[in-house]
Amino acid sequence: MIDIKFLRENPEAVKENMRKKFQDHKLSFVDEVMELDLEDRKTQQQADDLRANRNKISKEIGMLMAKGQKEEAEVLKAKVAEDAKTLVELEEKERVLEEKINDLMMRIPNIIDPSVPLGKDDSENVEIMKYGDPVVPDFEIPYHAEIMETFQGLDLEAARKVAGNGFYYLMGDIARLHSAVISYARDFMIDRGFTYCIPPYMIRSNVVCGVMSFAEMDAMMYKIEGEDLYLIGTSEHSMIGKYIDTILQENQLPETLTSYSPCFRKEKGAHGLEERGVYRIHQFEKQEMIVVCKPEESPMWFEKLWKNTVDLFRTLDIPVRTIECCSGDLADLKVKSYDVEAWSPRQKKYFEVGSCSNLGDAQARRLKIRVNGENGKYFAHTLNNTVVAPPRMLIAFLENNLQADGSVLIPEALQPYMGGKKKIEKK
């Protein structure tokens, strides 16, 4: 959510930002907010004038009563009572106007960074850099679910009976590999100075509205029936929510946390061949990282965060590349975003395994995360990035470490988390 003062002073800049994001259908929101805001400020002024007048008349009533002029005092009391009714009406009008303004402001996209490439959707995202040499071996690489099944490591049929499509059982070495990757990612981030955290796996609606747009919420979140609670789609949500309605001291910053959690997503619209296995699923686990920092430091932290993911994947012998999301592919709260994509030897292309985002002060403004600085209070900047998210990460790992005999090599960095194993072999 942008600052309404910025919108008042720069309505055309806000509209131009919408055009860059190909959201012309929202252009009218700016004019609506301007009109409602003007009416709201007039209403506030009328209410303030009444309150000031009430205080003035109250003093006059006191003086009249002291002089014994009760009739004159009663006339003024009647005026105060009449003004009190008007004040109640004005305060209700203020509440309705501010609710309408807030609803519109929540739908107006954040101002994107000038460096973001213009484009309508993810087909126009821009490759930034490749890391590692993508290899296609001279033997056929099976579909990832089939690789897992050769190790007796995946049971989709049983999961369908228990929970329906989009769920899975991981077994044996594959389950152990899954846990090993998560544990390795945890320690990797701790070694980089991040504080480890296990957050709540459910959050209230005010936190949901604080961390994401309405469109994202509808497409992702599972609501707990009869409760003001939602299952998290990523631990970033509860991690940022940790700071709701707080005032941080400037010398506390930056706050750098890495978290483990299960994640739950509706995955509306998932379809196609890549949905057969564990590519798009309703439940998965993830290691995440978030930063709460001073505004001037968020570009620097953005660069650090996505590089952490690249570095981790390279220690596991997985070639990756970074993609900058174009303007039309940015969610409304984001200022700038990179996707990290891993190489798939089977598909002979890269696919997304993580996303790094700078949200500016959008989440902080919604959640009232403020900083007490030398020159007064201001809103913090928030950033988030995926460390690893298996099982999708396992797809990249298995394909890139698969051998011709069907075994999978375990990179040296991961061997301590696999009990010293250097490879896993077919059952």
Q: How much is the pLDDT for 78?
A: 80
**Separation CA 339–CA 350 (nearest Å):** 11
Cβ atoms of 387 and 305 within 8 Å: the answer is no
Mean pLDDT of the chain: 93
**Separation CA 175–CA 172 (nearest Å):** 5
Q: What is the pTM of this model?
A: 0.89
For β-strands 154-155 and 423-424, DSSP reports them as: unpaired
CATH of domain 122-424: 3.30.930.10
Cis amide leading into 134 (omega within 30): no
Which pLDDT band, with edges at 50, 70 and 90, does 230 fall under?
very high
Does position 405 have pLDDT exceeding 90, yes or no?
yes
**Separation CA 69–CA 61 (nearest Å):** 9
**Separation CA 66–CA 76 (nearest Å):** 14
* Residue 260 tokens, joined: 């483990």
Q: How much is the pLDDT for 195?
A: 98
Does position 178 have pLDDT exceeding 70, yes or no?
yes
Q: Where along the chain do its domains lie?
A: 4-107, 122-424
Q: Is residue 245 exposed (0-12), middle (13-18) or buried (19+ Cβ within 10 Å)?
A: exposed
Q: How much is the pLDDT for 269?
A: 54
- pLDDT tens digits, 284-329: 999 999 999 999 999 999 999 999 999 999 999 999 999 999 999 9
At the top level of CATH, the class of 4-107 is: mainly alpha
- pLDDT tens digits, 70-113: 777 777 778 778 888 888 999 999 999 999 999 999 999 999 99
